[in-house]
Amino acid sequence: MKYALYLGCTVQAEQYAYEASVRQVLPRLGVELVEMEGASCCGFPAFSSISSLGWHYLSARNLAIAGSLGLDVLPLCNGCHLSFTETQHALEKDPHLRQFVDQKLAQEGLNYSEGVRPIHMIELLHDIIGADRIEEAVERPLEGLKLASHPGCHAIRPSEMQRPDDPEDPTKLDDLARALGATTMDYPEKTDCCGSLLSTASGRTTLSIAGEKLKAVRDHGFDGLFTTCPYCFKMFDGRQRAIGATIGDRSLEVPVFYYTQLLGLAMGVEPEKLGLELNMSPVDGIVKRITGGSN
């Protein structure tokens, strides 16, 4: 298994823990990650709301770079994966857009390849690597932990696009949590939005939306929440204190993880190699439960 690793903007700018955990766990599962020299922003969300031409060109450009490596591309962000998928769909349906993109790419000596497939992290872990192989790699089972999965909107919507999980009943992250020995279950708010993309329009609304989700996770008795989306993670983890103040619940303390961090802990990787010191939510207690207090 060999993929072009696309970090995107959010991971490189602030979500370093996600990259660190991905680079630790995937090679241990037989995945080779190849750097994309010259990669740029995918165009989402800034360009997608300003210039569809600019947006699709940027996404196509990154797909072309992966194509030049002869590899499918692994974006770490739900939004980037959707951006690539929507661009492929648009280029297939609109010959004028395809001509424009081809002309621009030719100026850099790049060529858009239709054969490059964007692989979502959930798809890679669940469909390609598989829960059975992950379970075999577990050294420290997450027994006794009840964890809430959060797929994030762009992992399941829009449903007419090829998304990695079912828009009405996403179950793949739950399967992956069980492979680590954790307990999980469906809950009514599972597919609710984190609200992050509303932040430029209404910051208070964004915090309220995220707060309702975190309150639900706590009230359903979960020990914590996990996701694979950096937008969702930075909302639930990085802004949890502001969320609690906004909704009038200053006791809101929900540990938030990337799935790859939990996977790394279960595989026996040291917490500091997984970027866990960068998590802003109260994860220390769960980390100690998993590691036996040795880290």
Architecture of domain 2-106: Up-down Bundle (1.20)
Residue 180 has pLDDT above 60, yes or no: yes
By mean pLDDT, which of 41-50, 60-69, 121-130, 214-223 is the weakest?
41-50
* Phi–psi pair at 13, nearest 5 degrees: -85, -30
Q: Cα 288 to chain center, whole Å?
A: 24
Taking alpha carbons only, the member of 59, 38, 60 closest to residue 112 is 60
Per-domain boundaries in the chain: 2-106, 139-291
- Residue 196 pLDDT: 83
Mean pLDDT of the chain: 94
Residue 201 has pLDDT above 60, yes or no: no
Residue range 243-250: mean pLDDT, rounded: 92
pLDDT(247) > 60:
yes
Greater pLDDT, 198 or 114: 114
What confidence tens digit (pLDDT) does each residue in 154-174 have? 999 886 777 889 989 999 999
Position 293 scores a pLDDT of 74
What's the DSSP call for residue 237? T
Encode pLDDT of 75-90 as tens digits: 999 999 999 999 999 9
Taking the CA atoms of residue 150, residue 193, residue 121 and residue 3 in that order, the dihedral angle to the nearest 10 degrees is: -160
At residue 295, does pLDDT exceed 70?
no
Q: Report how far apart, in Å, the C-alpha atoms of 51 and of each of 17, 42, 44, 227 are.
A: 31, 13, 11, 30
pLDDT beyond 80 at 64: yes
pLDDT class for 229, splitting at 50, 70, 90?
A: very high
**pLDDT tier, 274 (very low <50, low <70, confident <90, very high otherwise):** very high
* SS3 category, 109: coil
Arithmetic mean of pLDDT, 245-272: 96
**CATH 3.30.465.10 is the classification of domain 139-291:** no
Q: Which of 158, 154, 159, 151 minimizes the C-alpha distance to 122?
A: 151
Pairing outcome for strands 224-227 and 73-75 = unpaired
Confidence band of 13 (pLDDT split at 50, 70, 90): very high
State the pLDDT at residue 23.
98
Query: pTM (2 decimals)?
Result: 0.95
- In sequence order, the 6+-apart residues with CB closer than 8 A to the CB of 187 are 148, 216, 217, 220, 222
Note the pLDDT of residue 59: 97
Strand stretches in the chain, DSSP E:
2-6, 32-35, 73-75, 147-150, 224-227, 256-258
d(CA 75, CA 8): 7
